[in-house]
Each structure stands twice: as C-alpha cells, then as structure tokens.
Amino acid sequence: MSVWAFVRKALREPLRVGAPAPTRRETAEFMVRAAGVEEGDFVVDAGTGNGIVAIAAAEMGCEVLAVDVDPEMIDIARRNAEEYGVEDSIEFVVADARELPELVDNVDAVLSTVPVKTVPEPLEFLRSCATVLKTSGRFVQLTHWPGYFTKLLHHEVPLRVLEKHLKWVHIVPGFVFVCERV
C-alpha cells in the first residue's frame, strides 16, 4: 500500500486505521530489535496494519502472528509480506487484538503500532497483550501520546516500562515504549 493509499484509507475510516501514515520501516526494525527477540522466537504484531512490523520481525528470523481487526489491512499486509518474501514466516489473522488470549499464549514479544488512544477499551487491549507474554516477554508499543499510554499502565495493567525512545515514526515523531510483563 502506498503512503497515499494509506492516507486515503485513514481519511475514510480514521478510527479504524488510527494513524495518519504507515509506520516507517526503520521504526519497525527498531521495535523488533528493542524487543530483544532472536531467530526462532514467536512474536505477535497486534494491529498489524500494512504489516511492516511483522515483516521486520520475520526478516530477523522470528515466527510471527499478525493480527488486525480490518480484513482489508490483513490482505494488504499479506501482499506486502509476499513482496518481501517472508509470507511463510507470518500467519495472518483477522481478529481483535483484545482477544489475543484466545489465539496464543507464551509468546516472546508483542509489538504494537496501534494508536491506543483510538482503541475501544484500551485497558483491555493492553491487558490482552500482557497476558499472552512469557514471563520474560517484552511488549513494545509505538504511540504519539506518551502521557496517555503511561497513565493507562497505572490501571492494573501487568506491564512495567523499561525504556522509552523518541523516534521519527512517519510524518510525525512518536515514542516507542519497551515494557516487560510483571
């Protein structure tokens, strides 16, 4: 999906897309490295969108479950994975990320570019992501609202912030939070 096609979809369905532009490849690669995953690890991309984070994880040798509530975005992510030649390392599922515990458990990392401020029931989303992690697992969240994200973590979400990085995400800067399950 081109940047302009993404922007058009975001304008048509802003709450469904939630982002003004797709995440940059460099940011996706940074998120995977920040999660500390290794070849063969199992990673969930919660709210995969165009699939760039899932693709970056697959290119680093991870097995990936890419989840998105929007079937159109799953189709786009699958096509993008095919273009990069990593489609065999990624399973694509149309599902709500708040239902991750029904799909997987004991994962090494959950990566998310989902704008938590636009998600219905953001606490349930974060709890779902935390629940499926191994004890030593990492949750990496890209957000444009660091104060809002931090405030959510104070509501009985079993995640603790380890690091926070300011990154140029796409057309605006954002923060990448690296958290661990507690």
Residue with tokens 């991750």: 100
Q: Which residues pair with 44 in a beta bridge?
A: 65, 110
| pTM for the full predicted model | 0.88
Q: What is the pLDDT of residue 5?
A: 61
Q: What is the pLDDT of residue 169?
A: 72
CB-CB neighbours of 5 under 10 Å: 12
The first and second tokens of residue 147, run together, are 């104060």
Length of the chain (residues): 182
Residue ranges of the chain with per-residue pLDDT less than 50:
1, 15, 17, 20
Q: What is the pLDDT of residue 13?
A: 57
Q: What is the pLDDT of residues 124-160, one digit of tens each?
A: 999 999 999 999 899 999 998 999 999 999 998 999 9
Q: What is the pLDDT of residue 2?
A: 53
